[in-house]
Amino acid sequence: MGADGAAPHRPSAAGAVRWFAGRQVAAVAAARMSVEAVGRARHTAVLLVAGRELRLLRRRRAVRGALVLLAGVAWLPPLVLPLRAGSLGLATFEESLLLAVALSAVVLPLLALLAGADLLAGEIEDRTVVPVITLPISRAACFAGKVLGRAGLLCASYSAAFGSVAIAIAACRGSTGWRDYLVIVVSGLLLCLVCGGVGAALGASTRGRVRAFGSALVVWLAMVFAVDAALLAAVVVLAPPPPQQIGTHGHSELAAPGRGAPIREHQASAPSEPQRGVSAVWLMALDPTDLFRISAFVWGPALRARLTVGLPGADSVAASVPLAVGWLAWLSVPPLVALWRFRRCAL
């Protein structure tokens, strides 16, 4: 009843419907605004944590050492190869490819696994993550921000190191073979991100920095040596190469030009070989380092011509499916595991 004692206004049915519809529209608009506000807050939180992560990384000596090592991995192949011929200077893209693949497949996983293992384990152990997640920053936003900061620094440093090498080679020795080099660089970056994710999952699953680093080292040894050798053996069994092509130097010999086996054309393969080759690629996608090597060989035009042993008939189109699936799985599953573990972690 109104304050003046007048009879209360009785709305008509149509008015009530309009009022109800108006309320619904307003509620939906408010909910949408609320969702948008939450989304904005999350983005801001992620960027804030990413900025904090970059500040932390910039001041750590170990990070500077890792960046120097990364630059060494990039510059070593073109600088070392001419020394074998007794000359100084830079090797061409084509000459640098194989050593770049071999070196990257060993060093990059180690660097990325250790960097990933430290992502959460260090801050959880030091309890410096507590003041972050008790601000209005969710664990998911904290994780995303830390990943963004660390992966951003890794990508920038990696691109700078390999980009500077590419520019130097192109300027001094010409640009022949640059596409293969680009494939190796991009695959190497994916390998870094995958191993970083695996390291983060290990760091979130173990208590303390030392255990995280220890498990990262064990995984690195398994990934680069044990699983790699096992998969290689499985591939040889699955798609046996001609006897004269089997060597003792693993993957580096598989595609070594002018050493051991001559280049074999795919047409010479038996009809069932393409299927067996693709199966072999699926199998090798189980190990990120093999995924990196196979990606470099399958997607690099010049390197693909050298790929004969173990993967007969696995042309770039057919092999791209398992490779793409493998990369997607490796890029997405370990970070999700890390996030799941971090969200359940008692601090």
Encoded one letter per residue, x for contact with another protein by CB under 8 A and - for no contact, window 154-183 reads ------------------------------
* CA 206 to chain centroid: 21
Give Rg (Cα) of the chain.
27
**How far apart, in Å, are the Cα atoms of 282 and each of 167, 255, 334?**
34, 19, 19
| 159 phi and psi angles, rounded to 5 deg | -65, -40
How many residues of this chain interact with another protein, rule: CB under 8 A? 28
Residue type, 277: G
Nearest to 160 by CA among 90, 79, 73, 77: 73
Q: Which residue has the tokens 């999350």?
A: 42
Query: 18, 36, 39, 44: which one contacts another protein (CB under 8 A)?
Result: 44
Whole-number minimum distance, CB 208 to another protein, in Å? Answer: 15
Q: By CB under 8 A, tell whether 141 contacts another protein.
A: yes
Contacts with another protein in 52-71 (CB under 8 A)?
Answer: 52, 55-56, 59-60
Which span sits near another protein by CB under 8 A: 45-53, 161-169, 184-192, 218-226? 45-53
Q: Which is nearer to another protein, 52 or 264 (CB)?
A: 52
Whole-number minimum distance, CB 204 to another protein, in Å? Answer: 15
Please, what sign has the CA dihedral across residues 272, 274, 277, 281?
A: negative
Contacts with another protein in 110-139 (CB under 8 A)?
Answer: 123, 126-128, 130-139
CB 335 within 8 A of CB 328: no
CB 20 within 8 A of CB 12: no
Which span sits near another protein by CB under 8 A: 37-45, 110-118, 237-245, 265-273? 37-45
Site residues (CB under 8 A) for another protein? 41, 44-45, 48, 52, 55-56, 59-60, 123, 126-128, 130-139, 141-142, 344, 346-347
